[in-house]
């Protein structure tokens, strides 16, 4: 519990620092809130000065930052430059689709990576292991957008196995239709994680399998299967947990590309659209959102790690 409290206390300053970074980017980026008026001959320099004053743009930076932060904390994240709606509303209405996509691809990645990693480690240097090594190299090396395009063209456009894009067929809103639309993007998004997690699990499991306590486990009469599954896997998974936590930002980057290709109405697609439209308030809202996501991911990973490995919890250096 003490460990958990300490880790949560560490996360707060990181979020504040990131908000400073976001604020700085927003103010250094070309364009600024009054750009729309500077080229308008009907708006005089004097009027721009009035607008600047009313928006508080003449205040010193620290004052502006504190005002921005306090309204951020009160749930006022500014307004989209595209349609004038509040940023928080725009972002939150896209969040469920992204969470669904990321959860689905996370589940696919875990169910794919665990058995593949175990099989590769148990059958070390077999043909299957070599084939998996080769395949994961390729899976890792393929650009996500290219794999997405290929999967979309072959499986959806040519073979009609999946819908090409979107989240619902027109007029339909049953869960089955949703799952049908979800499968292909989730699969594309999970490929990289399957490759890297299964590789990592393989090497970590190989290391554990050569530990003396594995000999003990076998000597006590455990079958090889039971020794591997009950004794080795449990220990081999521990180092995988922080890796999974660190993968969350990559997953989000993948979501930007995947959602763009499959017209999935989530935060990734929103991010891409806001980048194209230079909609800075929405960009910053999403930056803060992903920063929180990344920190939460790291935090969860650390806490899960502490739960799995008493040495971390009790303050000893992990071995």
Partner 1 sequence: MISSAVEEVARCRGQACRHDAACRGWDRFRAHRPAIVAAAVMATLAALAALAPWITPYQPGAIDLHHVAAPPNPAHPLGTDELGRDVLTRIVWGGRISLAAGVSAMLIAATVGIAYGAVSGFYGGLVDSLMMQAVDFLLSFPAIVVLLILASAYHGSVLNVILYIGLFGWMGMARLVRAQVLSLRERDFVVAARSLGASNLRILVRHLVPNALAPVIVATTLGVAGAMLIEAMLDFLGFGVSPDTPTWGNLMTNAESYFTTAPLLAITPGLVITTAVVCVHFIGDALRDALDPYANRSGR
**194 scored as a contact of partner 1 (CB under 8 A):** no
79 φ, ψ (degrees, to nearest 5): -125, 140
Cβ contact 43:37 at 8 Å: yes
Give the separation between CA 149 and CA 155, rounded to whole angstroms. 10
* Residue closest to 288 by CA, chosen among 14, 18, 50, 4: 18
To the nearest whole angstrom, how small is the minimum distance from the Cβ of residue 41 to partner 1?
A: 26
Contact segment (CB under 8 A) with partner 1 among 10-18, 51-59, 108-116, 169-177 equals 10-18
Among 146, 174, 216, 229, binds partner 1 (CB under 8 A): 146
Among 4, 7, 14, 135, binds partner 1 (CB under 8 A): 14
**271 scored as a contact of partner 1 (CB under 8 A):** yes
Kindly report the number of other CB atoms within 10 A of residue 70's CB atom: 10
Site for partner 1, residues 126 to 145, rule: CB under 8 A:
133, 137-138, 140-145
Which of 130, 230 has the CB closer to partner 1?
A: 130
To the nearest whole angstrom, how small is the minimum distance from the Cβ of residue 268 to partner 1?
A: 10
Give the separation between CA 38 and CA 48, rounded to whole angstroms. 8
**293 scored as a contact of partner 1 (CB under 8 A):** yes
Residues near partner 1 (CB under 8 A) are 14, 17-18, 21, 25, 29-30, 133, 137-138, 140-146, 149-150, 153, 157, 199-200, 202-204, 249-250, 252-253, 256-257, 260, 271-272, 275-276, 278, 283, 286-287, 290-291, 293-295, 298
């Amino acid at each position: 519990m003490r460990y958990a409290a300490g880790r949560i206390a560490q996360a707060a300053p990181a979020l504040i620092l990131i908000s400073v970074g976001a604020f700085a980017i927003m103010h250094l980026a070309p364009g600024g809130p009054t750009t729309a008026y500077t080229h308008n001959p009907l708006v005089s320099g004097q009027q721009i000065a009035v607008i600047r004053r009313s928006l508080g743009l003449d205040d010193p930076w620290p004052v502006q930052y504190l005002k921005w932060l306090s309204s951020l904390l009160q749930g006022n994240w500014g307004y989209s430059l595209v349609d004038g709606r509040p940023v928080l509303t725009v972002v939150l209405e896209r969040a469920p689709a992204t969470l669904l996509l990321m959860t689905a691809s996370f589940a696919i990645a875990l169910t794919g990576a665990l058995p593949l990693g175990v099989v590769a480690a148990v059958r070390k240097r077999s043909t299957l292991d070599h084939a998996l090594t080769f395949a994961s190299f390729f899976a890792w090396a393929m650009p996500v957008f290219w794999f997405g395009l290929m999967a979309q063209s072959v499986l959806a456009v040519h073979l009609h196995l999946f819908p090409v894009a979107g989240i619902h067929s027109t007029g339909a809103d049953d869960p089955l239709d949703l799952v049908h639309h979800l499968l292909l993007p989730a699969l594309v998004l999970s490929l990289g994680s399957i490759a890297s997690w299964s590789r990592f699990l393989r090497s970590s499991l190989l290391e554990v399998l050569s530990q003396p306590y594995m000999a003990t486990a076998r000597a006590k009469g455990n079958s090889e299967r039971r020794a591997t599954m009950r004794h080795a896997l449990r220990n081999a998974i521990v180092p995988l947990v922080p890796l999974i936590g660190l993968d969350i930002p990559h997953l989000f980057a993948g979501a930007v590309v995947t959602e763009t290709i499959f017209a999935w109405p989530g935060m990734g697609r929103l991010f891409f659209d806001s980048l194209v439209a230079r909609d800075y308030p929405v960009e910053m809202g999403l930056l803060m959102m992903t920063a929180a996501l990344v920190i939460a991911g790291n935090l969860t990973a650390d806490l899960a790690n502490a739960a799995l490995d008493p040495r971390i919890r009790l303050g000893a250096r992990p071995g």
